[in-house]
Amino acid sequence: MASTNQEMLRHVVLIKFKEDTKPEDISRLEQEFRTLATVKINQVKQFEWGTHTGKDNRNQGYTHFFCLTFANQEDLDTYSNHDNHKEFVKHLKLHLDGSLVIDYFAKN
């Protein structure tokens, strides 16, 4: 595997929805997050997401995981301060029981 000198910045978001959140609301938020990251904000280099598939409880109730890749801290800051991101977060918070955010520079 070839090594690269440029470390990409990963922004990982773990989400725990409130128990009374309807499946259709979760689906809508999933699509809104995808659109935000792949259409509305150009600084996102890569976007992927998934849901917890384990049968144990090591996820502590966090069911949705989103990973966004940025070229640098400046691009992440632009994303974080973007009006579309702020609006999405405002809607998302109505359904959140918890969230964790981890930013790191990927190494290989």
State the 10-residue block means of pLDDT for the chain, 108 residues long: 69 98 97 96 97 90 97 98 97 97 94
**Number of structural domains, the chain?**
1
What pLDDT is attached to residue 1?
41
Residue 91 lies in a domain: no
Residue 43 lies in a domain: yes
Coil vs helix vs strand at 42: coil
Cβ atoms 76, 11 nearer than 8 A: yes
Q: Which of 79, 86, 97 is nearest to 41 (CA)?
A: 79
Residue 85 lies in a domain: no
Residue 19 lies in a domain: yes
| Structural domain span for residue 27 | 7-52+99-108
Q: How many Å is the Cα radius of gyration of the chain?
A: 15
Structure tokens at 84: 């579309």
Residue 60 lies in a domain: no
Residue 57 lies in a domain: no
What pLDDT is attached to residue 108?
83
